[in-house]
Amino acid sequence: MQLPDAEKAFDSLAKKIQADAHKDFALIGIHTGGVWLAERLHQALGIKQPLGTLDVAFYRDDFDKIGLHPQVKPSEIPFAVEGAHILLVDDVLQTGRTIRAAINELFDYGRPASISFAALADRGGRELPIAAQYTGVTLELPVDKMLELKCGKNGKLSFHLYDKSLPE
C-alpha cells in the first residue's frame, strides 16, 4: 500500500496552522514523534514562546495492561500553562487516548486559556470524542496496522506501516 509522503504532509500541516492559529500560542510536542514535529513547527512558524514537551506515560489509561513505558522522558513545560493558548502536536491520531492523557497532564500544570491539537496524520479509529483542528493528511487504515513516523539521520520524516501482531 502506498503511504503518504510525511514531508508533504508536514508542509500542508504547517500552512494550515500558519493560516489559522491564534497568534500568541505555545507549542507542546508529545513524545517522541510529536516532539520532532513541534521542533520543526516551532522553527518554521517562528514562535516566540519556548517549546514544551510532554511524555504522557504517567497519564496513560493502559498502565494496568502494559505497565510503565520502558523509556519515560521528563515532561518539560518552560512557560506558564495558566492562561496560555496551547497547541498540542502529535504524529499520528488514532484512538484519541494519547490526547486525553496529554490534556489531563496539562491541567496538572495549570488552566490553559485554550488547547488545540495538530496531528500529522489522522488515520481514523477513534475511541474518544476527540478531533484534530489541524491535520497534515487523512487516511483510513485497518485496525491491525500500526502507522509510525520515523525521523531519519538527515531529519527527514517518513511514515512506516507495521502489522500490530508482528514484532517491529
Partner 1 sequence: MINRNPQLDEHGVLQHLLTTEGLPASVLLHILDTAESFVGVTERDVKKIPLLRGKSIFNLFFEPSTRTRTTFEIAAKRLSADVFNLNIAVSAQSKGETLLDTVNNLSAMNADMFVVRHAQSGAAHLIAKHVQPDIHVINAGDGSHAHPTQALLDMFTIRRYKRDFRNLRVAIIGDILHSRVARSQIHALTTLGVPEVRVIAPKTLLPKMVERLGVHVYHDMAKGLKDIDVLMMLRLQNERMKGANLPSPEEYFKYYGLTPEKLSLARRDAIVMHPGPMNRGVEIDSEVADGKQSVILPQVTFGIAVRMAVMSILAGNQV
Which residues contact partner 1 by CB under 8 A? 55, 57-59, 63-64, 66-68, 70-76, 104-105, 107-110
Choice between 72 and 113, CB closer to partner 1? 72
Minimum distance from residue 109 beta carbon to partner 1 (Å) = 6
Which H/E stretch holds residue 38? helix 33-44
Minimum distance from residue 116 beta carbon to partner 1 (Å) = 22
Minimum distance from residue 34 beta carbon to partner 1 (Å) = 16
Minimum distance from residue 71 beta carbon to partner 1 (Å) = 7
Q: Which three cell numbers stand for residue 62?
A: 493502559
Choice between 10 and 59, CB closer to partner 1? 59
Choice between 58 and 125, CB closer to partner 1? 58
Minimum distance from residue 70 beta carbon to partner 1 (Å) = 7
Residue with cell 495538530: 118
CA–CA distances in Å: residue 124 to residues 37, 81, 111, 161 = 20, 29, 29, 15
Choice between 36 and 59, CB closer to partner 1? 59
Choice between 58 and 79, CB closer to partner 1? 58
Contacts made by residues 79-83, CB under 8 angstroms, sequence distance 24+: 79/26, 79/49, 79/50, 79/52, 80/110, 81/106, 81/109, 81/110, 81/111, 81/112, 82/110, 82/111, 82/112, 83/110, 83/111, 83/112, 83/113
